[in-house]
Amino acid sequence: MIVTIELDNISFRAYHGCYDLENKVGNNFRVDLTVVADIGDAAQSDDVTAGVNYLLLYDLVEEQMKIISNTIENVGLRVVDEILNRFDQVLDAKVRICKLSPPLGGKAEKVCVVISRAR
């Protein structure tokens, strides 16, 4: 069985950015994750170990958000690559990372990047 798993609007405080102040003060981020996986008969058997565990996906994103990067593109790439490396059932992974109130010199709610990879 092919399923789509979505984790929406995950909030993090992180220190990504190319400016020294961003690395010291940090910023608020929102992450959306979409994973397409072949979970076999995990739904019929009601066996969480046969599917893709949502908690493990969340933990993976949190782990990558803690690694300071100059760009959120780098964070996104690490997230999708790590998902494909850790979960054999995953066919496609897409992450959207948004930096809220980015330091652009003007008013902007957020800046976002979307990174996706398929097996």
- Cβ contact 61:95 at 8 Å: yes
Active centre residues (catalytic):
99
Taking residues 67-81, report their average pLDDT.
97
Which of 26-30, 39-43, 97-101 is the least confident region? 39-43
Which tokens in the block code for residue 73? 């593109």
Which tokens in the block code for residue 21? 């102040």
Q: What is the mean pLDDT of the chain?
A: 94
Over 90: is that where the pLDDT of 23 sits? no
DSSP letter for each residue of 5-42: EEEEEEEEEE--SSSHHHHHH-EEEEEEEEEEEE-TTH
For residues 12 and 62, what is the distance between their CA atoms, to the nearest angstrom? 8
Under the banding of pLDDT at 50, 70 and 90, the label for residue 91 is very high
More reliable by pLDDT, 34 or 42:
34
Domain 2-118 has CATH 3.30.1130.10: yes
**Per-domain residue ranges for the chain?**
2-118
Taking residues 69-95, report their average pLDDT.
97
For residues 112 and 25, what is the distance between their CA atoms, to the nearest angstrom? 19
pLDDT over 90, % of the chain: 76
